[in-house]
Structures are given as structure tokens and as C-alpha cells.
A and B are shown apart, each in its own frame.
Chain A
Amino acid sequence: MSRIGVFVCWCGSNIAGTVDVEKVRDEASKIPGVVSAVDYKYMCSDPGQNSLRNVIKEKNLTGVVLAACSPHMHENTFRKAAIKEGLNPYFVEIANIREQVSWVHDDKERATSKAVDLMTMMVEKVKRDRSIDDVKVPLHKKTLVIGGGISGIQAALDIANGGVEVLLVEKEPSIGGRMIQLDETFPTLDCSSCIMTPKMVEVNQHPNIKLYTYSEVTDVSGYIGNFKIKIKKKARSVVEKDCTGCGNCWNVCPMHKNVKSEFNVNLSERTAIYVPFPQAVPLIPALDRAVCLHFKKGGKCVKCYEACGPKCIDFNLQDEIVEETVGAIVAATGYDLIENSLYGEYGYGKYKDVVSGLQFERLLSASGPTEGLVKRPSDGATPKTIVFIQCVGSRDPEKGVPYCSKVCCMYTAKHAKLFAHKVHGSQSYVFYIDIRATSKGYEEFVRGTMEQDGAIYLRGRVSRIYEDEGKLIIKGADTLSGNQVEIAADMVVLATGVIPKKGSDKVAQMLGISYDKYGFYTESHPKLRPTESSTAGIFLAGMAQGPRDIPESVVSGSAAASKILGLFSKDEYEVEGTIASVNEATCVACFYCRRVCAYNAISGKDIKDRSGKLIKVVANVNPGLCVGCGACVNACFSKTIDVKGFMDDQIYAEIRSLSV
């Protein structure tokens, strides 16, 4: 039998001025199950809370209704007071008679009658409240970071420095990601590898970081605090612990003409056994079996094996699967460039001297194919005139993507600047739509490129590029002067926009996190939870989430790290108990609930008899993932699933309690 206490708050004259609180109190006392109905000037004050606690104790209440201000104000206050008297906090309900009655209505009689209605609804709801225990999930204090670019590295280092073990998984043979491919970085022009390499080394040497390069995460299951993961270490054909990184193997590899270097964006060649770049971390080569003569020609070529001092090359090594358990995951899978071939009018792929922004980075880089001398790919001559085209693919809903890739304005300004520094007497032209230079020092940087380094900025699009007598002829518009322009240049650099890394959608599906229509991972809330993914315990960093520059990527890596360190500062993760539950007896496993669950909280559960024979499958709610939104309840035909705190019978009781 319910023993409900109703407490009507005056809130001074805030409520009592418009609502007859004594009438509300008297009406409450007439409702079956209400054993106490009182009114008080300020329920949220200490004496008010004490009177609430006294009545809970004296009348041995099974439920409490406060007719007071919005639950968003003081629900927690009163729930805490209830806990002190041993009452489950979910037996406290609030009828909002201030924000939604006294403050919005004038007619006292009608406002009072509405207040009585709202109070009655909550009495009927609280009668049907069930005791709810908050869920505690144990935390496995280890973190998986997917992606060894700058944001993944930053996250890994911060977490490891916080004393938590990290598994850093990188698909390529070396960590470093896109940043290590860059030459100098805007707006300060510090050399990318100079600031990146120490971080990479730190990762490799950190006692709390276990580095998996040339590896991929192949399976993720479980939930926050307890993710079971599988990492595939691809067969490197090199025994890592014995390798000294001396380079004898790749120096003798006969396959040095045919394989394009991914690191140099196809501007040079690499061998079959290779490190992607000299400062690779770890400095251990990987043997690319798809192109290696040993594997293609039936084991004949063993040159690298013969050249290897410690004999650590092993053609028979197999892929290895490592199983681990982690409590949190950072997804930092990075980005690719939009396919330049979409822009046939710019001649990419047709003319060797039309290159992408990333290729130009390699041409500028001291570790690049030209050792830092700007030479054009076709004949190695030093270009005197370069045309840069911005927004190639970006902000182009027709052929490319509608969004702004954010980094191109700045890297183009940097390219033009570095070109001016490296080739004296040269000239840059930049075709742009808008210049977006909004961070610290950015606007000044672009100005400098224009004013000190003499780059000519033309607002407009390029319509066509063709070759004529060894020159590239660029036809475009200068919309500010209204003129058509034609420039004869030695090279063209396309500021190609960014897209999510190929395969990042597969990673998202494996992790059970959501991504937008472009494939960028979506945050749990665009403003207030920008670091969290849609799935509890999985955090986002870097360009995988959307276009951002290096400082922002570092910030996002650190943000993910701080979230994880915060999560791991306790031994258990506590979630509100207002989550969904399944009536296993009536579930027929149509799994519409699973389809609409945005949190991956529902899975199938086998029901077996004593002998272990499968009787049926039912839906099962993972308490670590469920947030209690109730979308599953709406999807369930037989009403087999319900959400605690907002059960169907409570809603129905609220409706049915109304006077009409």
C-alpha cells in the first residue's frame, strides 16, 4: 500500500501569489494513498528539507511528491534529502507548479486547478515508481588509441603520463600520420618533423605505451570500462626484437623502381622491404608481400635475408591476433585528400606538374624526393611561376564536398611563402574564394604572404588548365576586377580538400559510433560533448571528426585524454539507473529496439535450458551503454521493453488521473 507524502511549496509569493497552495494541499490529502499533505514557505531551504525528512521518517513514506519549482531546479536536492532517510531517490517526483503554473498564468482559480492536476498526476506516477539502483560498471583501466597521427600520439602521451596504460595501434609501419609528411607548419614555420619526431620517440620509449604499428583493430565488443578488442599485427616478415634498423635489407632490395612511395605521395619509389621514411618509429622495416619478389616468384629472391646481419628476416611470419581488454577507446583515424582526378579541367594526372597540396609538401621537405629543393616533377627544373588553386573539392556541393576543409587557406599561404623563400625571383598566384584565417597569428601570416612575399591573390575560380610549349596555361576569372585572366605557369598546386580516412566508416561500424553523411565521426553533442562519441567510453580526436589544423588536433587529443583520465579516476563508472529493461518471457527478438538504439546498448542474448540447449534469443540491454532515452520502448510492438522511471503504466496513470 502506498504511503505518499505531498509537499506544496509556496516559494514565498512566487507560487503562493498565484496558486492557492492550501487548496492544493487539501486536494492532495483526499487522494487515496496520500498519508500526509503539508505546505511550506520554502521547501528547498534547510528547514524545508528537514521537514521533508521528518515526515519521510515519521510517516514511513513510500513516495514523495513536491509541488514546487521545476524538477530541473531542485529534483536533485530533494532526492538527496530522501536518500538520507533511506528512501530510494527515484521515489521522489516533482509537480512543476512554478515555472509551468504560477509564473505563466494569472487567474488564481484556474491556476490552482491546474496545480492540483499536476500534483495529482505526480501522485499517481509516484505510486507506480519502482526502486531503481544506479548501475555501477567496473573499469578496466587501459586505453586503446586507434591512429598514430598527431592527435592519437597526443592522446596516448597524455594518458600514459597520467599513469594509465595505452595501446596505440597504427595501420602503417610507422607512427607519425599526416603531420610527419608536412614540411613546415603554419603560422610559425617550425619544421614539422623537428617537433613531431621527439613526440614519436617519446611514444616508443614510454613505459605505459604499447605500440602496435603495421596493425589494425579487427574486432571490438563490450562497453565502457570493458571493451574486448582484437588487434591484428600484420606479418611484417621481420622479427622486431632482433632488428637494428641498419637498412642493409632495403638497400639491397631489387624492387626499387616499381613501387610508389605512399609517404612521398607517389613522387618517388620505395623498395618492397621498407621503412616509409628515415625517421620512422619504430625504425623497423616491413616487407610488402604484395610486391616482394620472394613472394611473387616462388621464394627465389632472398637478397634482404642474406644482407641482414642479425638474420631477423623471416618470410614465414604470420599475421598475429592479440586480444586485449580496455576501458576506453580513442578513435583518431585521420584523413585523406579528395580524389584530384575529379577535377579533369585542372589536368591532375594528365600533366605531371599539376600536384596536390600534400605532394607539394613533399617537394618542399628536406627529407622529400628533391631534398627540399623545389623542382617540378616533369623535368626537375626549378619552377619560377606557380599557380595555387584553393577550394579544390571543398565548398563544392556539385562535384566535391559542401564543407570547408579549413586548413587549405593556411597551407596555401604557407606554400606560397616557402616557395618565395626558396626560389628567389619567383612568383605565386593564388586563386581563392574566401580567405579563412581565423586563429592566432593566421591573418597576419596570410597578409605576410601577400605583402612581403609578393603572392598575388585572385578572387575567382580557374576554369581550365592546358599545356602549351612547356608551360601550363591557367585560365580563370578575377571576380574583383571582373577580368578574365590567363597565366602561364611552371607548376600548379591544388589545395585539395580533406575527407575522412578511407575505411574509417568500417572502424566506426566496428566501434558502434555514429558518423555523418561525409563519414566524419559525430560527437555526442556538438557543443557540450564535443569529445565524446555517441557511445559511452569511446572518444574522438583529430581530423576523423572533421577538418581541423594541428593545434586543434592536439587539443582534441588532449581533451580525449583528460576525459579518459577523469573517467579512470574512479574505480567504477556510475550510470543512472533509469535505463531500459526487457521482459524476456515475452520478447520475440524482432530487434526493432536494436535498430533504433543510438547507443548500441541492445544485443541478443541466448536463453538456454539446463542442458545448454538454446531455447530462444531475446533482446538484452547493456546497462553500461543504455542512457534511458526510451526509443526502444516506442519501437517495441508487444511492449516487452520498458524504461525505468518512465514506465508505460506510469504515463498511462498520469493521463488517466487528469480531470477534464
Chain B
Amino acid sequence: MEDKKEELAKTSGDNDPRIIAFVCNWCTYSGADLAGTSRMKYADNVRVIKLPCSGRIDPMFIVEAFKKGAKGVLISGCHPGDCHYISGNYHSRRKYAIFRNLLGFLGVDLNRVEFSWVSASEGNKWVHIINEFTDKIKSLKNGSNDIFKK
């Protein structure tokens, strides 16, 4: 049974990919809450890890998520200029831009790493991002982020 499942996954991509989202407390987490209070529906593949600020989200978390077997990683924070902590998202944006180049250079399929700014009022954007990202991951050939996977 287990073997069969694995085989299926290998040939046809992943039907139930796990996505880990690292989000800031003030904007994106609240935006995701708003999607809830508005009873919007979205793909249930995402697992959210809340941090105070995108400035706290270390790019190395992406690697750990891949190691754990996540098929996609999303990092999301406040829009530029809206950071609850003034400039946390600006500092992180620089790091993400470079880290992303590094991941890509080392062979990670960058389709699996997504970044977004979602404000507390953008429940609909959150829904859209999650649905779109989930669909994209499902369409990818399995194994395209091998370097950090067992």
C-alpha cells in the first residue's frame, strides 16, 4: 500500500502536498483570521507558524521545512511601509532576495518558495495566495527540491 502511494506520488506529482507558512503576527496572521471570520474557503494544505514579525523569519526556516518534507514554503508579512515593528520586513526582504538566489543556484525549484505581503484586511488575498500556491505545488514534478530532502 505504502509503496503504491509513493510510486503514484513520484509519477504524477503530489496530490496532498504539505505547505508550511511562516507569517507575522500583525498583518498576515490577522489577514488569515479575517478569511476565517469571513468564512472564505481555501485549500487545507497549509500549516501556519506564527512569529512576531517577518523580520523574525529566518530564511533557514525554509530549509528546515523542506527537510521535514514540506513541498512548499510560504513567507508572508506586512506590506512595505506597514511593518508593525517599523522596518522588520524591509530588513528581511533583502535577506530573502539573496537567500532565494542562493537556493535557486543550489538547485531548489523556486516554484516551491513563495513570498507575499498580506495585510490584516486582505483575507481574500490570503485565500488567493494559498489556493494558487497549492495548485502550483500540485502541478510540480515530485522531487524537485531534492537537495534538502531525505
Contacts and interface: CB of A to CB of B under 8 A. Distances in A.
Contacts of A634: 55-58, 91-92, 95
Interface stretch (A104-112, A264-272, A278-286, A344-352): A104-112
A631 B95 CA distance: 11
Contact of A655 (B39, B42, B65, B91): B65
Contacts of B69: 660
Contacts of B37: 99, 103
A635 interface: yes
B55 A103 contact: no
Given A635-B91, A656-B68, A105 B52 contact: no
Interface residues of A, number: 47
B20 interface: yes
Interface string B53-76: 101111001001100111000000
A652 interface: yes
B107 interface: no
Contact of A629 (B36, B48, B53, B65): B53
A651 B61 contact: yes
A651 B52 contact: no
A655 B68 contact: yes
Size bracket, chain B contacts: 35 or more
A658 B69 CA distance: 9
A391 interface: no
B53 to A, nearest CB: 4
A225 interface: no
Nearest to B43: A105
B44 interface: yes
A72 B33 contact: yes
B111 interface: no
B121 interface: no
A99 B55 contact: no
Contacts of B41: 104-106
A550 B138 CA distance: 60
Given A634-B95, A654-B49, A100 B88 contact: no
Contacts of A70: 33, 36
Contacts of B44: 101, 104-105, 107, 110-111, 114
Contacts of A106: 41
B31 to A, nearest CB: 11
Interface in A94-126: 96, 98-101, 103-107, 110-111, 114, 117-118, 121
A190 to B, nearest CB: 39
B122 to A, nearest CB: 14
Given A104-B42, A118-B47, A658-B68, A72 B18 contact: no
B68 A630 contact: no
A627 interface: yes
B33 A651 contact: no
Contacts of A596: 55, 87, 91
A115 to B, nearest CB: 10
B36 A646 contact: no
B64 A655 contact: yes
A628 interface: yes
Contacts of B32: 99-100
A523 to B, nearest CB: 10
Contact of A117 (B47, B55, B64, B91): B47
A633 interface: yes
B68 A631 contact: no
A105 B50 CA distance: 19
Contacts of B53: 629-631
Contacts of A100: 32-33, 36, 48
A96 B91 contact: no
Contact of B85 (A114, A117, A598): A598
| 6 nearest A-B residue pairs (beta carbon) | A630-B56, A99-B36, A629-B85, A631-B55, A660-B69, A598-B86
19 contacts: A72-B29, A96-B33, A104-B39, A117-B47, A598-B85, A629-B84, A631-B55, A635-B91, A645-B52, A648-B58, A651-B49, A651-B61, A655-B49, A655-B64, A655-B68, A656-B64, A656-B68, A658-B18, A658-B68
Interface of A: 70-72, 96, 98-101, 103-107, 110-111, 114, 117-118, 121, 514, 522, 524-525, 534, 578, 596, 598-599, 627-631, 633-635, 643, 645-646, 648, 651-652, 654-656, 658, 660
